[in-house]
Amino acid sequence: MTTNVDQPRPASGAYKAYVLFILMLVYVFNLLDRQILSILAESIKHDLGISDSEIGFLLGISFAVFYAVFGIPLGKAADIVNRTRLVSIGLAAWSVMTALSGAARSFGFLAMCRMGVGVGEASASPAVYSLLCDYFPKHQRTTAIAIYTSGLFIGAGLGLTLGGWVLSAWTSAYPDPALAPLQLKAWQAAFVIVGCPGLLLALFVAALREPIRGALDGQTIAPERRPMRAIAIETLTMLPATGAMVLYRVAGRRALLTNLAIALTTALGGALVGRLTGDHLQWGVLAFGLYAVCTWTQKFRAVDPDGFKSIFGNRSLLLGFGGFAGCCFLTIGPLAWLAVYFQRTLGATPSDVGLMLGLSYAVAGFSGITLGAMLTDRLILSHGERVRLVFSAAAISCASAALIACLLTASTSVAYAWTVPFNFFSAMWLAPAAANVSSQVPPNIRATASAIYIVTQVFLGTAMAPFVVGALSDQLMVWGVSAEQSVQQALLLSQLALIPAVICLVWGWRRMKA
């Protein structure tokens, strides 16, 4: 793959709308393949005999750590190669891994498939954010990113709706799994059904035109002379042994010694926490991910000090990373566990949960992210770009209040109703967060900065939120709380993350120049 720079004419409005629609569908499939596990969790837990903590691992860490780790080299790839082809290949890869999840007969195999889904999906967002910045001018980017990101809630909604429908329809048609096609159980069939269509969409993505990098910002970006070598080095940096070798070559002995100290610290920390909690696999995978990110950060600082300073020297940007990671935690935890809560605590059927939560995610989420982007773009004209931070703090606060109201009602119908404002407000921060990153770094490192932003989101939000809620649920049951109430109380406790999230966003807003 090489960067295509032979598109001299600007794209028409109709073609840009088509590109945005196709890329939004990519995000739909991204979340469809990811979120369907939520509605299938109770069936998987029963069939494979696993705990809430292990379900949390499948929902979060198994996917998210590999999504984050490989998101960095794939973010680098998006800065130097044809982005549409990169997204197409990644889409095909994660679709295959989703379908293979339907062949799982054990926790280990299913975990490996979820890791593969994470690697494939890591190719999408950094490349897409970069593409949208080269298709749309500054005053349209937040809205364009919002429409793309709306695929998150549409995909999550479809995943729940389709997953619930498949569970009911497949179980009704084949009450004895031994008589079903390929002897698939309902949850296995659901993975196969949602995974295969992504291969067709990958062909449409591959046919999209590659825009000229930086043209809308009046900049000329020189193409990378040896792109595949740069990507290979970036990938090797993320692996333990080869990462240390690459670091020594580019940064010297002192950096290597620091890296070995980081390796020892993360390994011992992961082992200690794993021993204390009994969750060795979860904390081992997380320790691997943290070490890989630290190694890459050391190398990035050595080979691109200006780029490193543009990102890690920007206090407002870093505070935004922390605040938006908190927003992600507050959004992803309920996204992963509300379906289980409605089934286990309120006694709703999978088909009803899938339909009601699916509609809520899709309609309220799409409305929230679109309106949030439009309001932010309008507020920027009078209050400057830093308004994105305080706007997001207000939105996630409203979302948390709605979730608490949802969890405290005993009425299933009222609880469903409260998911609407929760999904509406929890969607409003997403586009401002992504646009905040792109607006604060030069065009030539936008995808890299977006990958770093995604790493913070993934480690502190996507990876930890489902696992923390699951671990809290298991611990509450050990303390005597019933299984029906443990998920509810774990979700309520998780909302304490609102405090550091809002502090970081407001602090970042105060430090950012108007």
Residue 429 and residue 346 share a domain: yes
Top-confidence residue, 60 or 490 = 490
Band (pLDDT 50/70/90 cuts) for residue 177 is confident
Residue 257 and residue 244 in contact, taking contact as beta carbons nearer than 8 Å: no
Please tell me the least confidently modeled range out of 102-116, 401-415, 429-443.
429-443
424 inside domain:
yes
Mean pLDDT calculated for residue range 279-288: 83
Please report how many Cα atoms fall inside a 13 Å half-sphere around the Cα of residue 388, on the Cβ side.
31
Please determine, for residue 184, whether its predicted confidence score (pLDDT) is greater than 50.
yes
Q: Is residue 220 part of a domain?
A: no
Answer yes or no: is pLDDT of 3 > 50.
no
Report pLDDT for 514. 59
pLDDT at 216: 65
On whether both 108 and 129 belong to a single domain, the answer is: yes
User: What average pLDDT does this structure show over 115-140?
Assistant: 85
- Residue 50 reports pLDDT greater than 80: yes
Structure tokens at 205: 């993505």
Please indicate, yes or no, whether residues 481 and 345 belong to a single structural domain of this protein.
Answer: yes
Q: Give the C-alpha separation, 105 to 188, whole Å.
A: 9
Residue 381 forms part of a structural domain: yes
Summarize the confidence of residues 218-231 as an average pLDDT.
69
pLDDT number for residue 223: 65
The per-residue pLDDT for 217 is 62
Least confident of 50-54, 211-215, 471-475: 211-215
| Residue 510 reports pLDDT greater than 80 | yes
pLDDT-derived band at 7 (thresholds 50, 70, 90) equals very low
Q: pLDDT at residue 35 above 80?
A: no
Q: Which CATH number fits the domain that encloses residue 334? A: 1.20.1250.20
DSSP, residue by residue, 306-358: HHHHHHHT-HHHHHHHHHHHHHHHHHHHHHHHHHHHHHHTS---HHHHHHHHH
pLDDT confidence of residue 443: 72
Residue 142 has pLDDT above 80, yes or no: no
pLDDT for res 459: 81
CB distance 327 to 29 below 8 Å: no
Check if the beta carbon of residue 494 is closer than 8 Å to that of residue 361. Answer: no
- Least confident segment among 186-190, 227-231, 341-345: 227-231
pLDDT higher at 352 or 281? 352
- Min mean pLDDT across 1-15, 40-54, 74-88, 272-286 is at 1-15
Among 178-187, 227-236, 442-451, 505-514, which is the least confidently predicted range? 442-451
- Classify residue 96: in a domain, yes or no: yes
What percent of the chain has a predicted confidence (pLDDT) above 70?
95
Residues 256 and 197 grouped into a single domain = no
Same domain, 251 and 326: no
Could you give the number of structural domains in the chain?
2
The segment with the largest mean pLDDT, out of 255-259, 350-354, 442-446, 508-512, is 255-259
> Pick from 268, 303, 338: which residue ends a domain?
303
Tell me whether residue 3 is in a domain.
Answer: no
Of residues 149 and 306, which shows the higher confidence score? 306
**Residue 266 domain flag:** yes
Q: Are residues 274 and 349 in the same domain?
A: no
CA distances to 47, 137, 325, 333, 494 from 284, rounded to whole Å, are 25, 43, 21, 21, 23
Boundary-marking domain end, from 303, 337, 365: 303
pLDDT at residue 5 greater than cutoff 50: no
Q: Are residues 236 and 314 in the same domain?
A: no
> CA 59 to CA 462: how far, in whole Å?
8
Q: How far is the CA of 164 from the CAs of 37, 169, 327, 348, 426, in angstroms?
A: 11, 9, 27, 11, 23
Higher pLDDT, 393 or 176: 393
Let me know if residue 7 belongs to a domain: no
| Least confident window among 83-97, 387-401, 425-439 | 425-439
Whether residue 2 lies inside any domain: the answer is no
pLDDT score, position 394:
95
pLDDT at site 2: 42
Of 265, 285, 303, the residue that ends a domain is: 303
Q: What domain range includes position 289?
A: 225-303
DSSP state of 409: -
Q: Looking at the structure, do residues 139 and 68 belong to the same domain, yes or no?
A: yes
Give this prediction's pTM. 0.74
